[in-house]
Amino acid sequence: MVRTRFAPSPTGFLHIGGARTALFSWAFARHHQGQFVLRIEDTDLARSTPEAVQAILDGMNWLGLNHDEGPFYQTQRMDRYKAVIQQMLEAGTAYPCYTSTAELETLRAEQTARGDKPRYDGRWRPEPGKDLPALPVGINPVIRFRNPVDGVVAWDDLVKGRIEISNSEMDDLIIARADGTPTYNFCVVVDDWDMGITQVIRGDDHVNNTPRQINILNALGAPVPQYAHLSMILGDDGQKLSKRHGAVSVMQYDDEGYLPEAVINYLARLGWSHGDDEVFSREQFVEWFDLNHITPSAAQFNTQKLNWLNAHYIKQADEPRLAADVRRRLALRNAKDTATPSVESIVALYKDRAQTLVELTDAVEQLQGHPTPTAELKAQHLTEKTRPILAAFRDELSNVAWDIPSISAALKATLAAHNAKMPALAMPMRLALVGQTQTPSVDALIALFPKDEVLRRIDTLLACGN
Ligand code: GLU
């Protein structure tokens, strides 16, 4: 049974990197009909906040990354960690160390002066026949893990390939502080063990922790999971992810009008591939996902591609859903839905050209509002030549049936009668209805509005001088 986990530290929002880690862990479990565990690594009390926990849960929920177990909180598992530390003390795989901070500083200074890497020298590490220093009074010891001194720790990373670290490069890690609280790497080990995690999929900033974690797992007689360390994500510019994109909360993508399925599809391709496939559903992704097609090199964020995918998913989305989303956004803007034209009809006309739901909402606000074109646009498109054409078209319109073919015929007839080309009428009409010139085809635009509203808007435009 495959069991994966996502183990965020709640010190900020769920950003793109974290979301991709969560997605890959989730998809791997789903692909293998396994289980996906959510664990909140909140032992850093100074930096963990309930708001950050909520932000992570909100982000996962928005992306639809449902977990089967948890959320487990490390702060609620302290008794368990302490019990395991006790077991290790009894088994001799951990030991108390009474070295004071001052002694450690002296040690560090000596090592640095010699040009050595600073490391704990094992002075309290018990060995057969070794005399330990005299027990100091009034000092609470830290607990250190008895790291093997010989050999190497090796694992076949599912992304990076074989990694080997010599034990001689590692000193004895502190697993409990003097106040008895367990440390980060130790909690992760006990959790992965207790939660039966079979594949640890996480960011490659944890590669350095892995040999220590494997050594502790071995000391506990616990099975060692497989590891897959995902390479980092760079920004559009090849630099570290910036606030503009990626380094922000996934919920900001919601604010900016991205659909969760577009973000999922986008994240799936950040470092993973299935041939040349770019557009695929969540179900397809789960079916295809494996750890063999993850690239070990850094992935690069590409805002244009995200926008392109989002436009695709908006086009695909059904109109009632888009309309409901636009109404939610209008309410957040304190904009009233005047229903003229209806949100549904605007969405239907604009969804093929919108890259984001924010753009769709803008279109609704614009069409329902009372448009006032800028003086420049009026000067450009409402001229001595076009005014009479617009006025004639108004008269023509008042007599036509209210459907796109009839409106289109009236447009052509008016233009023919004035020996003019489409822009001479289309542009002023766009100004009358929307206040600007970027719109879908003008006959479809006109048909969105009730006839009397169109006549009223034309009158308003004609009434204003240039
Ligand atoms: N809590 C760690 C983080 O947020 C992840 C630890 C892990 O996946 O092992 O970076």
Range of the domain at 163: 79-176
Q: List ligand 1's pocket residues with C-beta within 6 A.
A: 7-9, 41, 188, 202, 206
Distance, CA 206 to ligand 1 centroid (Å)?
A: 7
**Pair (62, 198) in one structural domain:** yes
- Which DSSP symbol is given to 296? S
CATH label of the domain that carries residue 388: 1.10.10.350
Among candidate residues 301, 316, 331, the one where a domain is terminated: 316
**Pair (253, 199) in one structural domain:** no
**Pair (299, 327) in one structural domain:** no
- Which DSSP symbol is given to 206? G
Question: Mean pLDDT, consecutive 10-residue segments, the chain of 466 residues?
Answer: 97 93 98 98 93 95 98 98 98 97 94 94 96 93 97 98 96 97 97 98 97 98 98 88 76 96 97 96 98 94 96 97 98 96 97 97 94 93 96 96 97 97 97 94 97 96 82
**Pair (426, 451) in one structural domain:** yes
**Pair (86, 165) in one structural domain:** yes
**Pair (215, 284) in one structural domain:** no
- Which residue's alpha carbon is at the smallest distance from atom 6 of ligand 1? 7
Q: How many helices (H) and strands (E) does the chain have?
A: 19, 12
32 close to 4: Cβ distance less than 8 angstroms: no
Say how far apart CA 321 and CA 383 lie, in whole Å.
Answer: 41
From the alpha carbon of 21, which atom of ligand 1 is closest?
A: 8
- Residues 263-316 have pLDDT tens digits of 999 999 999 999 999 999 999 999 999 999 999 999 999 999 999 999 999 999
Q: What are phi and psi of 103, to 5 degrees?
A: -65, -40
Collapsed DSSP state (helix, strand, coil) of residue 1: coil
**Pair (187, 42) in one structural domain:** yes
Residue 432's CB is within 10 A of a number of other CB atoms, namely 25
Distance, CA 379 to ligand 1 centroid (Å)?
A: 60
Per-residue model confidence (pLDDT) at position 190: 98
Distance, CA 254 to ligand 1 centroid (Å)?
A: 25
**Pair (268, 395) in one structural domain:** no
From the alpha carbon of 202, which atom of ligand 1 is closest?
A: 8
Distance, CA 202 to ligand 1 centroid (Å)?
A: 7
Q: What are phi and psi of 162, to 5 degrees?
A: -75, 135
Among candidate residues 138, 158, 176, the one where a domain is terminated: 176
The number of distinct structural domains making up the chain is 5
CATH label of the domain that carries residue 145: 3.90.800.10
- Tell me the two tokens of residue 437: 């010139």
pTM score, two decimals? Answer: 0.93
**Pair (274, 299) in one structural domain:** yes
Say how far apart CA 389 and CA 418 lie, in whole Å.
Answer: 7
CATH label of the domain that carries residue 64: 3.40.50.620
**Pair (386, 448) in one structural domain:** yes
**Pair (84, 141) in one structural domain:** yes
Q: In sequence order, what E strands does 113-219 have?
A: 142-145, 152-157, 161-166, 174-176, 199-203
Say how far apart CA 323 and CA 62 lie, in whole Å.
Answer: 18
Per-residue model confidence (pLDDT) at position 237: 87
Closest CA to 357 of 386, 330, 378, 326: 326
Residue 141's CB is within 10 A of a number of other CB atoms, namely 16
Compute CA 237 distance to the chain's CA centroid, rounded to the nearest angstrom. 18
The C-alpha R_g of the chain, in whole angstroms, comes to 32
**Pair (119, 168) in one structural domain:** yes
Helix axis angle, 319-332 to 343-350, nearest 10° = 110
From the alpha carbon of 188, which atom of ligand 1 is closest?
A: 9
